Amino acid sequence: MLAAFIISAILLIFGVLILGFRIFFTRHGEFPNIHIGGSQALKSKGVACATTQDREARRAPKRYTNADMIKEITGKL
């Protein structure tokens, strides 16, 4: 029982070290940026994540006048 626990602990530690090799053993190790905003190909196409779009929408809210609202609702004016 104890031998199985020790072997499984060693395998688990080995697996964590292998999965984290780039983070643990490189000079400027960091987690890879898998966020949509970190992809150059998507940036060039103008694609952004929902969080970024929400932040941009909150920065510059458009002020509507009554005439703008009527025009948007009815399609007239």
Supply the range of the domain harboring residue 64. 2-27+34-74
pLDDT for the residue numbered 2 = 93
Alpha carbon 32 to chain centroid, angstroms: 11
Q: How many domains does the chain have?
A: 1
Distance between CA 62 and CA 55 in Å, rounded?
Answer: 14
Helix (H) or strand (E) holding 5: helix 2-19
Residues 48-76, mean pLDDT to the nearest whole number: 81
Judge contact between 49 and 55, C-beta under 8 A.
no
Distance between CA 64 and CA 62 in Å, rounded?
Answer: 6
Inform me whether the pLDDT recorded for 4 exceeds 90. yes
pLDDT for the residue numbered 50 = 82
pTM of the model: 0.42
